[in-house]
Amino acid sequence: MKLQDRTILVTGGGTGIARAVALKAAAEGASVVVCGRRLDPLEEVVARVESAGGRASAVSGDVTREADCIRIAEHARGAFGSIDILFNNAGMICREKPVHATTLKEWEDTFSVNVTGTFLMSRAVLPGMLARRSGAIIHNASYVGLAGGEAIAAYAASKGAVVLLTRSMALDYATAGIRVNCVCPGSVDTPMLDREMEEMGGAETVRPLFAQKHPLGRIGTSEEVAAAVIFLASDDAAFITGTALPIDGGRLA
Considering the candidates 155, 179, 181, 245, report the single residue annotated as catalytic. Answer: 155
200, part of any domain: no
pTM, entire model: 0.96
- 31: CATH: 3.40.50.720
Domain enclosing residue 175, as ranges: 7-188+220-247
Coil/strand/helix, residue 217:
coil
Q: Are 233 and 85 in contact (CB under 8 A)?
A: yes
112, part of any domain: yes
Q: What is the pLDDT of residue 206?
A: 80
Considering its fold, how many domains does the chain have in total? 1
252, part of any domain: no
Q: What is the pLDDT of residue 211?
A: 87
Q: What is the pLDDT of residue 55?
A: 98
141, part of any domain: yes
Q: Are 157 and 114 in contact (CB under 8 A)?
A: no
126, part of any domain: yes
137, part of any domain: yes
Q: Is residue 173 among the annotated active site residues?
A: no
143, part of any domain: yes
From the list 253, 91, 233, the residue with the least C-alpha distance to 243 is 233
Alpha-carbon distance of 125 to 86, in angstroms, equals 8
From the list 137, 139, 124, 128, the residue with the least C-alpha distance to 67 is 124
Low-confidence stretches of the chain (pLDDT beneath 70): none
Strand order across the 244-247 sheet: 56-60, 31-36, 7-11, 85-88, 135-140, 178-185, 244-247
Coil/strand/helix, residue 244:
strand
List Cα–Cα distances, 205 to 112, 191, 194, 195, 212, in angstroms. 31, 17, 12, 13, 12
The tens digit of pLDDT for each residue in 67-96 reads 999 999 999 999 999 999 999 999 999 988
The tens digit of pLDDT for each residue in 91-129 reads 999 988 999 999 999 999 999 999 999 999 999 999 999
108, part of any domain: yes
Q: What region does 133 belong to: left with phi over 0, alpha with psi -120 to 50, or beta?
A: left
